[in-house]
Structure formats: structure tokens, C-alpha cells
Amino acid sequence: MSIRMKLILSYAAMLIVPLVLIALTTALLAIASRGDFQYYKKLYFSTAEKFEYDDQFHLLKEMKRSNERNPGILSDADYLQELDAELKNYNSGLVIRSGGKLEYVSESFRSDRSLLSDLPPYSEPGIRNETIQSNEGNDLHVFLQYDYKLADGVPRTAFIVSKVDPFVYWIRQAFPTLFTALLVILVLTHTLLTYFVSRSIIRPLKALRRAAKRIRDGDLDFEVGVGGKDEIGQLGLAFEEMRMQLRHSIERQLQFEENRKELISNISHDLKTPITTIKGYVDGILDGVADSPEKMMKYMKTVSSKAEEMDRLIDELFLYSKLDLKHVPFDFEAVPMRDFLTDWSEEMQFELDKKGIRWSSDIRVDASVRVLMDRDKFKRVLNNIMSNAVKYSDKSDKRIGLRAYADAGFVAMEIEDNGQGIEASSLEHIFERFYRAEVSRNSGTGGSGLGLAIAKQIVEGHNGRIGAASVPGEGTVIRLSLPIADKERENP
């Protein structure tokens, strides 16, 4: 549930819950004080007795005195209308009954036949001391009665009828108690709802604050532990993802640092070996050990070879560094793949024949198939792979072969040798930077371990894939694939 929905529901509850509780409180107070709900019914019908009718009684007494001084005045229409107008100020009306017939009825009561039929009977001359009430429908009426006779002896009655609202009295009497109960309920309801809703928001925020402090202090080995479908839960998930990314970045940085140290150690070893050789041969020349033209030539060739080895190593380091930083531009062009592989295969045939290695090629690619490629850099990929294949060939019958074919929008290439192979534990690492399965770093069988790493960087720069499979003692297969160029992309 979102925070917005929680707040909406809490605000609604702050309105509805107090209303329900005040109703229940009122009912419980009635039960506690009177025993049952009949109290309200009794209260309703007894309310009239508790209202004061001083003004109506005073007016009824005036009517009695006027009738005694001037008999028959209560039959005067003008006088009755004056009385009726005055009674309207008290929400009351006038009814005159003579011998069972209604002589005068206030306009407000003329349509209420049931009320007029319930008028109290004639009792005896004079004003009755008690009020008589009548419940008609949902209305309560109170009758003030004046019985009198004139000279004709016909019993007559003057009624002052007042409409009473018992709830006005009840509310007036119960207001202090109800107001206090309502105030307490409102305070408790708002306090409790605010507490629980705010706790559901504040607690995860505090957890996020603690997590932020731990991340600030460099402690990433924990779980944020804030979840859910609301906004704070989503923020907690984002915090957790950030923590995991930071930890991963730090671990990767530590790995890079370890690789850097390993690089320094390996390069120091690889550079020290030819430098030591060069220094030894130069010292031999200076000491006069090379005392013949043949020895001098041998020493100079060795020095030149070691210098070239150092230069090649430095070039590989420089190239890999630029590839890793994406600072090497690729000069792509649409290359006919069959012609490219055929030319390169002929070059390999010539080179490998001199080394006594049998070369075979099986190029099954249509002449129309083109690949967006940087020729020079991709040749470096193939040459690095071939260099490894040659270095690790340990059979008397050395063989290296190339297979190429189109497959699902890619040109696939496989370079296979029958060399010593690669152990399974090392196979998954051969494309990593600075990795070498041959840990002795023998100058005759290995270099810096950057050849295949450089090949992977270049292939991925071509949006291609590279992988390897090997059986120790039987040989290795390096698999490459480059996407076939769309006609729209042949002129990038």
C-alpha cells in the first residue's frame, strides 16, 4: 500500500472512527446509567414535562380573566386572531372547542386531523394544572387547557397547543457529557492513528538512515532490510541495490588493484629477463669475450632479439591499455569474408610450412557475405590465436586448422590445434588480462598473458563473440563469430 493511500485511509478513519465511537459511547452510557435503551424512549415522552410554558400559561390566564370580565369574548374572531398571532411567537397555536365542535383552529393545526381528534375532554371549569402531551407520528404536542361555560351552559374549552422538540432538551442536558466524551475520543483516535501511521513511515526511514550511515562508514556487509510496495519500500530496494553495486565496485576495484600488482610483478619479470640477457651480452662484448667476428655477431643478434622482445611486450601493454579504456578507434569497412580468410589462410600456410606445422583450411562462406571489420586489428586477433597455437604445439605431427561458415547471421570461425591443451580450471580464465596457464613465464613459451585478452577486446569491439574449448593432451579450439553486415550498414 502506498504512503498516499495510507494517509488517505488514516484521515478517513479519523473522521469515521470518532463518529462510531461516540455513538457506542452514548449507548453504553445509557445502558450503564439506566440499564437499557428504553431510557431514551422514556426520555423522549417525558421531555414535555420538563419544558417550561410560563408564557403560554400567562396568556391562558389572561384569556380566563378576559372571559370572566367579558363573557363570550372567546367567540370573537378578531380577539382570537390576536391571540393566535401572539402564540406563533412561541411555536404554539389556539384551538376553541364548543360542545364537541371546533369553533376556532389555528392555521398551523387545521390540516392535522389526528391531532385535533385527540384533544383532551372537558373536565371542569378552570385551568388544569398539569400539561397533557400527545405523540402524533414523530411530533410531540403539549396541551394547556382552559374549561369554561357561558350562560347557555354549553361546555367549552380553550386549548393552547405547543409543538415540542424533545431532542433539543436532551441535547441541552447531555451536551457537557457528550462534548467531553467526543473530545477524549477525538484526542485518543487521532493520537493512536497518527502514532501507528507515522511509525509505519518513520521506522523504515530510520532503518534507511542507519543504512546510509553504515554505507558512509564503508560498511557494506549487511542488508538494508527495508522492503514493501510503498514508496519507502521501493526506496529501500534502491538502497539495497546501491549497496550491492558499491560492494561489487569495491570488490572489482580490489581485484583491479590485485591485477595491477600482478601486472607489475609479471612485467617486471618479463622485462628483467631480456634486460639481464642484454646486460650480460653487452658486458661480454665490453670485457672482450666476443673476440671474434662470429661471436660478436652472435652477441649482437641476441641483444637485438631481446630488445625486439621488450619492444613487443611494451606494445602489447600499450595496446591493451588503450583497448581497455576504449581509446582505440576502429576503422570499420565492409569486408568480403571469404576473400579475407582465404588471403590470411595462404599467409599462414607459408609461415607454418617453414615451422614444420601442417595447415588446413575449410572456408564455407559465400562470396557475397560481408562483415564490418577493421582489417588490421582483426588480423591481430587471428595472429595472437595462431601464436598461442604454435607455442603450445608439443606433438611430433603438429597440425593447425581453420573452419569458417555462416551461421544465424554470424560468420563463425574455428581455429583448432593438436597441442598440449588447457586444463579445465584454466580454460575459463584464458581471456582474462594478465592470465597465463603457464605460471613459470618461460620466455620460450609465453609472454605477458595479454594476447588473448587483446583478442577478446578487439572481437567485442566488433560486436562479436570469442570462446574456447580444450581437451588436455589433445588440443584446443578457439571459436570466433562476427555479425554479418546488413546492406544498410555496409557504408558506416
SS (H, E, C) the chain: CCHHHHHHHHHHHHHHHHHHHHHHHHHHHHHHHHCCCHHHHHHHHHHHHHCCCHHHHHHHHHHHHHHHHCCCHHHCHHHHHHHHHHHHCCCEEEEEEECCEEEEECHHHCCCHHHHHCCCCCCCCEECCCCEEEEECCEEEEEEEEEEECCCCCEEEEEEEEEECHHHHHHHHHHHHHHHHHHHHHHHHHHHHHHHHHHHHHHHHHHHHHHHHHHHCCCCCCCCCCCCCCHHHHHHHHHHHHHHHHHHHHHHHHHHHHHHHHHHHHHHHHHHHHHHHHHHHHHHHHCCCCCCHHHHHHHHHHHHHHHHHHHHHHHHHHHHHHHHCCCCCCCCEEEEHHHHHHHHHHHHHHHHHHCCCEEEEEEECCCCCEEEECHHHHHHHHHHHHHHHHHCCCCCCCEEEEEEEEECCEEEEEEEECCCCCCHHHHCCCCCCCCCCCCCCCCCCCCCCCHHHHHHHHHHHCCCEEEEEEECCCEEEEEEEEEECCHHHCCC
What pLDDT is recorded for position 46?
Answer: 47
User: What is the pLDDT, as a whole number, of residue 53?
Assistant: 65
Angstrom distance (rounded) from CA 285 to CA 280? 9
Rounded to whole angstroms, how far apart are CA atoms 116 and 429? 109
- What is the chain's mean pLDDT, rounded? 78
Mean pLDDT along residues 192-215: 76
| Residue 280: pLDDT band with limits 50, 70, 90 | confident
Residue 41 confidence class, pLDDT cut points 50, 70, 90: very low
Q: Lowest mean pLDDT: which of 194-198, 328-332, 362-366, 424-428? A: 194-198
- In this prediction, residues 50-72 reach a mean pLDDT of 81
pLDDT band at residue 49, thresholds of 50, 70 and 90? very low
For residue range 308-337, what is the model confidence (pLDDT) as tens digits? Answer: 877 777 776 777 666 666 666 788 899 999
pLDDT in tens, 400-435: 999 999 988 899 999 999 888 888 888 887 887 656
CA proximity to 452, closest of 427, 470, 425, 418: 427
191 versus 438: the higher-pLDDT residue is 191
Cα–Cα nearest to 117, from 139, 134, 94: 134
2 exposed, middle or buried (CB, 10 Å; 0-12, 13-18, 19+)?
A: middle
User: Which has more confidence, 189 or 61?
Assistant: 61
Average pLDDT for 165-178 = 60
Contacts of 68 (CB under 8 A, 6+ apart): none
* Distance linking the first and last C-alpha atoms of the chain: 51
Domains recognised in the chain with CATH numbers: 3-36+170-203 (no CATH), 53-164 (3.30.450), 231-319 (1.10.287.130), 329-489 (3.30.565.10)
Q: How confident is the model at residue 300, as a pLDDT? A: 87
Which residue type is seen at 393? S
Q: What local confidence, expressed as pLDDT, does residue 485 receive?
A: 84
